[in-house]
């Protein structure tokens, strides 16, 4: 590999590039992950006990999760809720992506894309915070619903998982829209026209032509959305209540309140396994590779 780089860029440059790449992949990407796994397999000891008789590899930190009903519940709730967020985001994004790719004129599409990008560039915290204001007990949404006579007293939106769901769909929608848009855009318009001419209705055209073609986009968008949702800390922290905690919050507590980093590392690794598992399933189901995702 060095020889090929050297042949193109000369020795010093090739050396510098390989050093930067190696430093990144080894010191910043790989070793920290391995260290985290190693941590998760060791008991939480006092500094004096490290290397002593009590030190050694054990699965205790993983057993904790399965013995703790509350944590286990939160783990599975995070899993189901993240899947739900992914599906909701897909449903909300699909018509928009289809409109941008196939219905809108180039000018309209360009304007819409710009309008989509703007909120996406704004901090996740601020986007979530805006929902905090809207969904508040005495906030505008409750006031409007009261004024319209749809409800008799204000609803506590921020008390359950509903607020978290709304906030997450909002925060991650663009990670779904863009891959979908890219995938649908590459579909030949003639295929849609041909399907219509042959008598397929709207639903059937989508089910048999557009959606199969958009598979790589659906896969990429779902993987990104699920990963962001499962790994989200800000949205549940801002819009959730003590009763609707997210797995990331439990991890945070092990580190900064429980002071048990080993336990926290085990939980973090489980979260990573969850995301990798979801990604592999989706990639297998939609038959796409890593190369498709990077686009």
Name which of residues 2 to 21 contact another protein (CB under 8 A): 4-5, 8-10, 12-13, 16-18, 20-21
Instruction: Kindly tell me the burial class for residue 263, based on how many C-beta atoms sit within 10 Å of its own C-beta (0-12, 13-18, 19 or more).
Output: buried
- Taking CB under 8 A as the rule, does residue 105 contact another protein? no
Of 207-226, binders to another protein (CB under 8 A) are 223
- Taking CB under 8 A as the rule, does residue 184 contact another protein? no
Nearest to residue 232, comparing CAs of 221, 217, 246?
246
Quick one: which of 61, 209, 264, 288 contacts another protein (CB under 8 A)? 264
Q: How many residues appear in the chain?
A: 295
- Taking CB under 8 A as the rule, does residue 194 contact another protein? no
Quick one: which of 28, 45, 91, 281 contacts another protein (CB under 8 A)? 28
Interface region with another protein, contact rule CB under 8 A, candidates 41-49, 54-62, 64-72, 93-101: 93-101
* Minimum gap (Å) between residue 70 Cβ and another protein: 20
- Taking CB under 8 A as the rule, does residue 202 contact another protein? yes
Alpha-carbon gap, residue 126 to 120, rounded angstroms:
11
Within 10 angstroms of residue 87's Cβ, the number of other Cβ atoms is 14
Quick one: which of 30, 58, 68, 186 contacts another protein (CB under 8 A)? 30
Interface region with another protein, contact rule CB under 8 A, candidates 62-70, 83-91, 209-217, 266-274: 266-274
Could you tell me the CA-to-CA distances from 277 to 119, 189, 190, 287 in Å, in that order?
30, 35, 37, 15
Of 130-159, binders to another protein (CB under 8 A) are 130-134, 136, 138-140, 143
Q: String of b and e for 108-125 (b: at least 16 CB within 10 Å)?
A: ebeebeeebeeeeeeebe
Nearest to residue 79, comparing CAs of 242, 248, 258, 293?
248
* Minimum gap (Å) between residue 228 Cβ and another protein: 8
């Amino acid at each position: 590999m060095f020889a090929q780089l050297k042949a193109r860029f000369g020795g010093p440059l090739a050396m510098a590039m390989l050093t930067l790449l190696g430093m990144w992949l080894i010191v910043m990407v790989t070793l920290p992950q391995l260290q985290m796994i190693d941590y998760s397999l060791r008991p939480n000891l006092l500094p004096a006990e490290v290397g002593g008789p009590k030190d050694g590899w054990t699965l205790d930190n993983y057993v904790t999760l399965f013995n703790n009903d509350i944590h286990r519940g939160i783990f599975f709730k995070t899993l189901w809720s993240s899947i739900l967020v992914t599906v909701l985001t897909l449903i909300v994004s699909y018509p928009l992506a289809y409109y941008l790719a196939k219905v809108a004129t180039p000018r309209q599409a360009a304007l819409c894309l710009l309008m989509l990008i703007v909120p996406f560039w704004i901090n996740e915290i601020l986007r979530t915070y805006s929902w905090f204001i809207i969904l508040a007990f005495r906030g505008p949404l409750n006031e409007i619903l009261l004024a319209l006579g749809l409800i008799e007293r204000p609803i506590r939106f921020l008390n359950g998982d509903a607020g978290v769901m709304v906030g997450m769909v909002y925060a991650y929608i663009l990670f779904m829209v863009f891959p979908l848009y890219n995938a649908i855009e590459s579909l030949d318009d003639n295929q849609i026209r041909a399907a219509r001419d042959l008598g397929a209705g709207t639903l059937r055209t989508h089910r048999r032509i557009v959606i199969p073609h958009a598979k790589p986009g659906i896969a990429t968008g779902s993987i990104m959305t699920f990963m962001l949702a499962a790994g989200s800390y800000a949205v549940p922290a801002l819009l959730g209540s003590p009763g609707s905690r997210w797995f990331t919050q439990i991890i945070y507590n092990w580190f900064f309140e429980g002071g048990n980093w080993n336990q926290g590392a085990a939980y973090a690794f489980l979260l990573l396994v969850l995301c990798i598992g979801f990604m592999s399933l989706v990639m297998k189901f939609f038959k796409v590779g890593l190369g498709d995702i990077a686009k």
